[in-house]
Chains A and B, each alone.
Chain A
Amino acid sequence: GESVGLHLPTLSVQEGDNSIINCAYSNSASDYFIWYKQESGKGPQFIIDIRSNMDKRQGQRVTVLLNKTVKHLSLQIAATQPGDSAVYFCATRGGSQGNLIFGKGTKLSVKP
């Protein structure tokens, strides 16, 4: 079955540095990927998405890279700020009704 996993459970970075969060997926037929940010006690917040016909997409301070050959997805956060501290999940679309399958999550801690 489909599974989406993350390489690192925790990531600690210095304020101002760039952060890279990685994710691996197993279903080569996955065609849509999303990154979510979840702060403590809150619901997930959409960050950025990418379709399988792209290998890179940029947003404000964030970039998602997709490598379909090795089934790997990454989220890059430029100039990481304390407000970026949260748990980050990658997700892929599963099922016929569009439900999401979430990875395990990476906790990002930003040191001032």
Chain B
Amino acid sequence: GAVVSQHPSRVICKSGTSVKIECRSLDFQATTMFWYRQFPKQSLMLMATSNEGSKATYEQGVEKDKFLINHASLTLSTLTVTSAHPEDSSFYICSARDPRGSGNEQFFGPGTRLTVL
């Protein structure tokens, strides 16, 4: 199957700083990528949909000025957590939809564990 990578895999930062997480589709071009957040022992919750060349679509309750998304190319989307606070500590996972084949299948990155001190 297609491969999606994330970087970094883990990050620890101080409260008030900003953190950038990268999501790359390695062997296919993804016009649409998705960002999810997962708290411990909970399910994945969609934060936003990232479209190449246009503004991201945010889910209700997700602050667009706090979680900045940039889909600069067909293989890269970035999520920047601005002015991070301890409550932003979570597992952030991206996925990319592979347009080949049925176009339905989404491939997930390995996730980024963010810890805000």
The interface of chain A, by Cβ under 8 A from chain B, is: 32, 36, 41-46, 49, 89, 93, 95, 97-105
CB-CB under 8 A for A89 and B97, given A43-B109, A43-B110: no
- B104: chain A residues at CB < 8 Å are 32, 49, 93, 98
A-B contact count, CB below 8 Å?
57
Beta-carbon contact of B44 and A44 below 8 Å: yes
User: Among B49, B105, B110, which residue has its beta carbon within 8 angstroms of that of A42?
Assistant: B110
Closest to A93 in B: B104
Q: How far is the CA of A104 from the CA of B38 in the complex (A)?
A: 11
Beta-carbon contact of B107 and A46 below 8 Å: yes
Closest to B45 in A: A102
Residues of B in contact, count (CB < 8 Å): 27
Beta-carbon contact of B49 and A97 below 8 Å: yes
Closest 8 CB pairs of A and B: A43-B108, A102-B43, A102-B44, A44-B108, A43-B111, A43-B110, A97-B49, A43-B93
B99-113 interface bits toward A, Cβ cutoff 8 Å, 1 = contact, 0 = none: 000011111111101
User: Among B43, B109, B113, which residue has its beta carbon within 8 angstroms of that of A104?
Assistant: B43
Beta-carbon contact of B111 and A98 below 8 Å: no
Beta-carbon contact of B105 and A49 below 8 Å: yes
Q: How far is the CA of A99 from the CA of B32 in the complex (A)?
A: 9
Closest to B34 in A: A99
- B45: chain A residues at CB < 8 Å are 102
CB-CB under 8 A for A105 and B43, given A44-B93, A97-B49, A98-B97: yes
Asked whether B51 is an interface residue with its Cβ less than 8 Å from the other chain, the reply is yes
Q: How far is the CA of A89 from the CA of B108 in the complex (A)?
A: 13
